[in-house]
Structure 1
Amino acid sequence: MSSLKLYIIRLFVLFIPETRGFSIKRFLYRWAGAKIGENVRICSSAIILGSGKLKIGSNTWVGQNVMLLASKEIEIGKNVDIGPKVYIGNGTHVIEPNSERIAGKGKSIKIIIGNGTWLGVNSTILPGVVVGDKVVVGAGSLVNTKLESYTVAVGSPAKAIKIWDVKTQNWIPCKR
């Protein structure tokens, strides 16, 4: 994506009502280099930054004040719901205890969010995370490791509390 184009878009979308003009916003983010599917709805207060790759699948909702920082690659599936104030960013640092700064050389690690997933309000998705299909990430949760498909995960760090059993069509509590 082009950082300059994203900056220009940011100035423009602030004048579009929060939950209106989705087709204009899709067009603008595609112009900046993002791969945006059909019927993706991005709220005007969402902030998208970075020179990495961003792919958002069809029928995905990007809520109010979401921050997507794509310094490498962020891949969001189709039919995903991203609640307000969610942070998804793939930039981090190598930890260097013997240097003047412990936050050493910067690095970026790909993030994948599976189809049909719901990221609750104020949740955080850290670099290198893979979230499976149809996962529920509870409000305020911090996801720092892989989450398997069909789970509900909550907390900081997020832990699976139940998993959908396809055979019985019931939620099964996870052992903690």
Structure 2
Amino acid sequence: MPPTRCFGLKRHLLRWAGAEIGDNVRICSSVNIIGNGTLRIGNNTWIGHESIIMCSSDISIGADCDIAPRVYIGNGTHKITPDLDKIAGIDINKDIKIGNGVWICVNSTILPGVTIGRKCVVAAGGVVTKSIPEYSLAAGCPAIVKKNLY
């Protein structure tokens, strides 16, 4: 499919697969959505090229969000288990909630258990490991709040 065309068809296919997709959601065709969790995306949200959504529990993306290219959003991880054969041991799944009006910039990573409050900005390359309050700009690895936007 053309990368920035056929948005209606993509919405239809995701709804058919069980996702809750709002009106006018635009998902580029190079986006990978993987997993058997619950995915909800609000109205008028854009998800950019080559982004990955790994949905093993609940991922909720609000309305009017802009998710730039190559953003990773994933809610599965592992408990570190040095006593077992594999250090990446027991599976852990933690929900992710992204509020309305959020802008997640290019090459950012949203890790399990995070809530990003409404109208936040995650700067390019940010690695969000902890929740971010609304109207904040967060940056870095790990991402920390650099500025209140209100």
| Corresponding position of 1:142 | 127
Q: Which has the higher helix share?
A: 1
Q: 1 CA distance for matches of 2:143 and 2:76?
A: 19
> RCO higher in 1 or 2 (8 Å CA, sep ≥ 6)?
2
- Radius of gyration: which is bigger? 1
Aligned residues, how many?
A: 150
3-state DSSP of counterpart to 1:147: coil
| Corresponding position of 2:136 | 151
Q: How does 1:114-125 map to 2 (within 5 A)?
A: 114-125=99-110
**Runs of 4+ in structure 1 over 2 Å off:** none
1:100 aligned partner, one-letter code = D
TM-score, reference length from structure 2: 0.98
Q: Which is worse superposed, 100-109 or 142-151? A: 100-109
C-alpha RMSD of matched pairs (Å): 0.7
2:85 aligned partner, one-letter code = E
Where structure 1 has 5 or more consecutive residues not aligned to the other structure, the ranges are 1-15, 166-176
**Cα deviation, residue 94, structure 1:** 1.1
| Corresponding position of 1:78 | 63
Q: 1 CA distance for matches of 2:9 and 2:131?
A: 34
Q: 2 CA distance for matches of 1:29 and 1:80?
A: 18
| Corresponding position of 2:41 | 56
**Cα deviation, residue 88, structure 1:** 0.2
Where structure 2 has 5 or more consecutive residues not aligned to the other structure, the ranges are none
